[in-house]
A and B are shown apart, each in its own frame.
Chain A
Amino acid sequence: MTREKDAGAPPEARDPIRLHKALTRIWGAGPGLARLSSTNHSVLGMRFMITAGVFFLIGGILAMIIRAQLSTPQSAFLGAETYSQIFTLHGTVMMFLFAIPMLEGLAGYMLPKLMGARDLAFPRLTAFGYWCYLFGGSIIVLSLLFGVAPDSGWFMYVPLSSKPHSPGVNSDVWLLGITFVEISALTFATTLVVSILKIRAPGMTLGRMPIFAWYMLVTSLMIILGFPPLILGSILLEAERAFGLPFFDPTRGGSALLWQHLFWIFGHPEVYIIFIPAAGVLSTIVPVFARHPLVGYRAIVAALVAFGFLSFGIWAHHMYTTGIPHMALAFFSLASSLVVVPTAIQIFAWLATFAHGRPRWDVPMLYLFGFLWIFVMGGLTGVMVAMVPFDLQAHDTHFVVAHMHYVLVGGFVFPLLAGLYYWLPLATGRASRFTLARPGFWLIFIGFNLTFFMMHLTGLLGMPRRVFTYPGHEGWMWLNVLSSIGGMVLTMGFAVILADLALHARFGRRARRDPWEGGTLDWAIPRPPTFYAFASLPRIETRADRIDPRELGRELAAGEGYLGDTRNGWQETLGIHVTTGEADQVIIFPRQSYEPLVTAATVGLTVLAMLFKLYPVAVAGFFVVSAMFVFRAQSAGLREDHGPLPIGRGEAVPPHTEAESSPPLLALVVALVADGTILASLIYAGFYNWLVAANWPPPELARGGLIPVALAVAALVAASGCARGALAALGRGGNPVPWIGAGIFAGLAVTGIVGAILAGLPDPRSHAHPATVFMLVGYIGLHAYVGLLFLVSNALRYRAGYLSARRRLDLRLTRVWQDYTAVSGIVILLVVLALPALAPLAEGRP
């Protein structure tokens, strides 16, 4: 181990310039194409935001085409087919390719800087997620050029999106492309949860965290729980379209409404997933412009928890017209009304902060005003559509389109623009001129209200959404003309903002440190941010929005904080105990690499192979990607035991490879929560069809068989036991390979037994019951296969010297995986045994 230049030097002798150069050598991304290998949070965060901005422009152009078409009755501008593709793509692009990635990019860019860290927990995973997003988004958008864009609406209702009614690849593009993109959302959410809980500046307890971190923690957990139902729904619908497994086909025991449930269990929290980070931006900005610390910090945190849960209990308020009984409708209606309360708590906290402070007016405040005006209007129409009798009248009309845009544009775009103008001096290092920001705001504000307020009226006059034209005698025409004019004004507003950004980048003066007197850690770093963000890491003794960034920034740049030296060329940051906030490990990041790009490209090719029905190629791609993950793991970690490493301030902590609570362990637990949600959704789907769908019981029951099930349980338990044995052996300083070998044998046995059970099932295309059992048992097989990958990686890494009695992280990860596989497998096998017993009861339904 070597400590470079500044080792041992007294603090006053440290040279900030030399430290900067040393850190830049370690953390910097190469020039030109070498940038493609970057795994740095600033580079990737900015890349996410710029890519999302490009998709926003594409979505905006599509919106303008829609408004051009609807501005006059019986317009010949677009045909019905093209119009369907354009409105579907507009919604899809804005929801999946703009809003979510934009908030991910913002969070990825800002969180380490706000929390006093040098990077996010998993830089390569973040890079992999970015490439998945870019490739998946490109597949979806480029499909429009080939005339095969999705055309069943952004929520892809069956049976419209099912094979008989959408025989082309349009729906497949959506299902496969969106699932590909959602890999990015899940990897990013996992990274954020672990980063927020484990990678903060020492001393930053939970109660001292910047409020934005709380918002992003709740949002990320909502993504972890909210996206899996849609991923499962997409897999099931694609399996139905491609292979005929009838989960949504009522003629074979499926249910079209099942898709709506799976979609909206994701879709409604999605609205809050978009809004909550934007509210987090406002909670960061409001205290700065109010010149008073945020009022009600604890109440806001509690409100966020309430928000996170209540938003999941609302999904069926999109389904009021589907015939759900009054009692169940009331659950959803009451929860929809209750969710207003946490929103109101936040808004009142901002108002109280202003009331207690000495507010000052500047451009970000202008956009805050725009948010309040528009979002409150959207909230009020939200209360209207939460009421069942009103919603029955307004459902599927332009009133709902207006409400949705008031909530999403008001709740996301305006706060985003406020945040953009607030953090622009940090990101570019240039002071804001704001020459065009004010006219840009008014154009957007007036244009938006003109466009969408009119839609309330056309909706109340009965204009359905998604019609490509109208006869013209209904009294809708002038409202539509005004709406389209508003759309033009709105577009001009965004063009003015773009021009303002270009002028800022070209002519802005150099920004001074902390130009807004912000009081948060992000203003203590160099502007524009360096790759390493903090030359040394601060110790936080107060709430993280009450520090003095100017003084602290100078101290940190001089290396007077933690990790103020470089060591072994390592990219280091500190990990802390989740609740006490004390440093408990040095996290050593892997270096920049092209592997995330190559892996994501291979996944992309696999998706394309599935799209073009080249299934052997897709299967080959699956195995290649598996091998890549195993291969990638071979260079991670350390080959020596280091024990406690000095981190400055007289403290020493072990590297993460030797720590008890290493970030990958927490990440695996978070990932398994998402995984478990997929399984729960699949079990729900099975029981839902049993309870609700027509054509039950099935002609032939799918029985797993007691003996194969008992053998499978024994093999699962054995695999889990072997993982524990290997861990114990390594902990004693022994050789874990015999246990690993036994684990591989048990894993192979599980896959063999699962294969035998699958082979003995009735044709899964015959009915939803065998199709569900097929997927459930397949789930066990897939997990056993991934367990084998873990074990092979463990054996290779043990041979290569990455594992020791102290460095047991790999085997601990394997144990957690194998335990989950065993528990979930046993639950599944019990369900598989229970379903044939329950299926005949469906005959007793009235």
Chain B
Amino acid sequence: MKEQAPARLLWMVAGFAVWSSAFIVLYSLQGLGCAYGWPDPAYRLVLFAVLGLHLGAIALLFRRSRERLASGFLRPVVELALWAALVATLLTFAPALLLTACR
């Protein structure tokens, strides 16, 4: 169904909402892991898994946006924003997760 409701504006921010979620969850887990001395290999794997989930969520948003949004102004803007969010999520977190976690 192609949505016309005002709520479809939320599609514009959907990708970066996922980026924000990744930021909050990864930053929180990093803080918790360091505070309670979680063992490193498992801890880092969990962080990468969380990142993978968020990247997957953005990929899902790509697919759903094509189903839900009619062509017109919003669709290309949403696609651009989703691409930007995907790249931002990858670049903000993937290199950082390779660094020293607690020092």
Residues of chain A having any CB pair with chain B under 8 Å: 197, 205-207, 298-299, 301-303, 305-306, 308-310, 312-313, 325-328, 330-331, 334-335, 338, 341-342, 577-580, 661, 691-692, 841, 844-846
Q: Looking at the assembled complex, report how far the CB atom of A452 sits from the nearest CB atom of chain B, in whole angstroms.
A: 31
- Residue B27 contacts which of A207, A302, A326, A331 (CB distance < 8 angstroms)? A331
Given A207-B73, A331-B27, A691 contacting B100 (CB threshold 8 A): no
| A-B CB contact pairs (8 Å), 21 listed | A197-B9, A298-B73, A298-B80, A302-B84, A306-B16, A308-B16, A310-B16, A312-B20, A313-B20, A325-B100, A328-B30, A330-B99, A331-B92, A334-B91, A334-B93, A334-B95, A334-B96, A338-B91, A338-B92, A661-B6, A692-B31
Given A298-B73, A325-B30, A326-B103, A331 contacting B96 (CB threshold 8 A): yes
CB contacts (< 8 Å) of B30 on chain A: these are 325, 327-328
Q: Looking at the assembled complex, report how far the CB atom of A583 sits from the nearest CB atom of chain B, in whole angstroms.
A: 15
Q: Are B92 and A335 in contact (CB under 8 A)?
A: yes
CB contacts (< 8 Å) of A846 on chain B: these are 35-37
Interface residues of B in 76-96 (CB under 8 A from A): 76-77, 80-81, 84-85, 88, 91-93, 95-96
The A interface, classified by DSSP as helix, strand, loop or mixed, is helix
CB contacts (< 8 Å) of A578 on chain B: these are 6, 9
Q: Looking at the assembled complex, report how far the CB atom of A816 sits from the nearest CB atom of chain B, in whole angstroms.
A: 15
Check: B57 CB closer than 8 A to any chain A CB: no
- Residue B92 contacts which of A299, A334, A579, A691 (CB distance < 8 angstroms)? A334
Q: Looking at the assembled complex, report how far the CB atom of A314 sits from the nearest CB atom of chain B, in whole angstroms.
A: 10
Given A327-B30, A331-B27, A309 contacting B19 (CB threshold 8 A): yes
CB contacts (< 8 Å) of A691 on chain B: these are 31-32, 35
Q: Are A326 and B100 in contact (CB under 8 A)?
A: yes
Given A305-B12, A305-B13, A309-B16, A580 contacting B4 (CB threshold 8 A): yes
Q: Looking at the assembled complex, report how far the CB atom of B49 sits from the nearest CB atom of chain A, in whole angstroms.
A: 16
Check: B23 CB closer than 8 A to any chain A CB: yes
Check: B72 CB closer than 8 A to any chain A CB: yes
Q: Are A692 and B35 in contact (CB under 8 A)?
A: yes
Q: Looking at the assembled complex, report how far the CB atom of B9 sits from the nearest CB atom of chain A, in whole angstroms.
A: 7
- Residue A325 contacts which of B73, B74, B80, B101 (CB distance < 8 angstroms)? B101
CB contacts (< 8 Å) of A302 on chain B: these are 12, 77, 80-81, 84
Q: Are B13 and A309 in contact (CB under 8 A)?
A: yes
Given A298-B73, A302-B80, A306-B16, A579 contacting B6 (CB threshold 8 A): yes
- Residue A306 contacts which of B32, B36, B74, B84 (CB distance < 8 angstroms)? B84
- Beta-carbon nearest neighbor of B44 in chain A: A327
CB contacts (< 8 Å) of A661 on chain B: these are 6
Q: Are A328 and B31 in contact (CB under 8 A)?
A: yes
CA–CA, A328 and B99, complex, Å: 9
Given A207-B72, A298-B73, A691-B35, A326 contacting B99 (CB threshold 8 A): yes
Q: Are B88 and A310 in contact (CB under 8 A)?
A: yes
- Residue B9 contacts which of A338, A341, A579, A844 (CB distance < 8 angstroms)? A579
CA–CA, A207 and B37, complex, Å: 51
CB-CB nearest 9 A-B residue pairs: A207-B73, A330-B96, A302-B80, A309-B16, A578-B6, A306-B84, A326-B100, A326-B99, A302-B81
Total A-B contacts with CB atoms under 8 angstroms apart: 115
Check: B26 CB closer than 8 A to any chain A CB: yes
CB contacts (< 8 Å) of B35 on chain A: these are 691-692, 845-846
Check: B97 CB closer than 8 A to any chain A CB: yes
CB contacts (< 8 Å) of B17 on chain A: these are 309
Q: Looking at the assembled complex, report how far the CB atom of A307 sits from the nearest CB atom of chain B, in whole angstroms.
A: 10
Q: Looking at the assembled complex, report how far the CB atom of B89 sits from the nearest CB atom of chain A, in whole angstroms.
A: 10
Check: B34 CB closer than 8 A to any chain A CB: yes
Q: Looking at the assembled complex, report how far the CB atom of B36 sits from the nearest CB atom of chain A, in whole angstroms.
A: 6
Q: Are B92 and A309 in contact (CB under 8 A)?
A: no
Chain B interface category by residue count: 35 or more
CA–CA, A577 and B3, complex, Å: 14
Q: Are B32 and A298 in contact (CB under 8 A)?
A: no
CB contacts (< 8 Å) of B4 on chain A: these are 579-580
CB contacts (< 8 Å) of A325 on chain B: these are 30, 34, 100-103
Knowing that A309-B85, A325-B103, A327-B99 touch, tell me 13 more A-B residue pairs with CB under 8 angstroms. Answer: A205-B73, A302-B12, A302-B80, A306-B16, A306-B84, A328-B27, A328-B96, A334-B96, A338-B92, A692-B31, A692-B35, A845-B36, A846-B36
CB contacts (< 8 Å) of A313 on chain B: these are 19-20, 23, 92
Q: Are A305 and B99 in contact (CB under 8 A)?
A: no
CA–CA, A844 and B72, complex, Å: 56
Q: Looking at the assembled complex, report how far the CB atom of A808 sits from the nearest CB atom of chain B, in whole angstroms.
A: 19
Q: Are A206 and B73 in contact (CB under 8 A)?
A: yes
Given A299-B80, A309-B19, A313-B20, A327 contacting B100 (CB threshold 8 A): yes
CB contacts (< 8 Å) of B13 on chain A: these are 305, 308-309
CB contacts (< 8 Å) of B6 on chain A: these are 197, 577-579, 661
Q: Are B16 and A331 in contact (CB under 8 A)?
A: no
Q: Looking at the assembled complex, report how far the CB atom of A680 sits from the nearest CB atom of chain B, in whole angstroms.
A: 10
Q: Are A331 and B26 in contact (CB under 8 A)?
A: yes
Q: Are B31 and A327 in contact (CB under 8 A)?
A: no
Q: Looking at the assembled complex, report how far the CB atom of A664 sits from the nearest CB atom of chain B, in whole angstroms.
A: 15
CA–CA, A460 and B46, complex, Å: 41
- Beta-carbon nearest neighbor of B96 in chain A: A330
Q: Are B77 and A301 in contact (CB under 8 A)?
A: yes
Q: Looking at the assembled complex, report how far the CB atom of A287 sits from the nearest CB atom of chain B, in whole angstroms.
A: 18
CA–CA, A437 and B90, complex, Å: 47
- Residue A331 contacts which of B8, B23, B76, B103 (CB distance < 8 angstroms)? B23
CA–CA, A817 and B57, complex, Å: 31
CA–CA, A789 and B10, complex, Å: 31
CA–CA, A661 and B20, complex, Å: 29
- Beta-carbon nearest neighbor of A303 in chain B: B84
Q: Looking at the assembled complex, report how far the CB atom of A577 sits from the nearest CB atom of chain B, in whole angstroms.
A: 7
CB contacts (< 8 Å) of B92 on chain A: these are 313, 331, 334-335, 338
Q: Are A298 and B77 in contact (CB under 8 A)?
A: yes
B49-81 vs A, Cβ < 8 Å mask (1 yes, 0 no): 000000000000000000000001110110011
CB contacts (< 8 Å) of B34 on chain A: these are 325
Q: Looking at the assembled complex, report how far the CB atom of B20 sits from the nearest CB atom of chain A, in whole angstroms.
A: 6
Candidate in A298, A342, A577, A844 with the most chain B CB atoms within 10 angstroms: A298
- Beta-carbon nearest neighbor of B101 in chain A: A327
- Residue B85 contacts which of A301, A306, A335, A841 (CB distance < 8 angstroms)? A306
Candidate in A303, A325, A661, A845 with the most chain B CB atoms within 10 angstroms: A325
Q: Are A306 and B9 in contact (CB under 8 A)?
A: no
Q: Looking at the assembled complex, report how far the CB atom of B74 sits from the nearest CB atom of chain A, in whole angstroms.
A: 7
Q: Are A206 and B74 in contact (CB under 8 A)?
A: yes
- Beta-carbon nearest neighbor of B100 in chain A: A326
CB contacts (< 8 Å) of B102 on chain A: these are 325, 327
CB contacts (< 8 Å) of B16 on chain A: these are 305-306, 308-310
- Beta-carbon nearest neighbor of B74 in chain A: A206
Q: Are A327 and B32 in contact (CB under 8 A)?
A: no
Given A305-B81, A325-B100, A692-B31, A844 contacting B36 (CB threshold 8 A): yes
- Beta-carbon nearest neighbor of B94 in chain A: A334
Q: Looking at the assembled complex, report how far the CB atom of A755 sits from the nearest CB atom of chain B, in whole angstroms.
A: 33
CA–CA, A197 and B8, complex, Å: 13
Candidate in B76, B96, B97 with the most chain A CB atoms within 10 angstroms: B96
- Beta-carbon nearest neighbor of A543 in chain B: B73
- Residue B20 contacts which of A309, A338, A692 (CB distance < 8 angstroms)? A309
CB contacts (< 8 Å) of A298 on chain B: these are 73, 76-77, 80
CA–CA, A308 and B16, complex, Å: 9
Q: Looking at the assembled complex, report how far the CB atom of B80 sits from the nearest CB atom of chain A, in whole angstroms.
A: 4
CA–CA, A24 and B93, complex, Å: 58
Q: Are B80 and A579 in contact (CB under 8 A)?
A: no
CA–CA, A305 and B34, complex, Å: 33
CA–CA, A335 and B34, complex, Å: 22
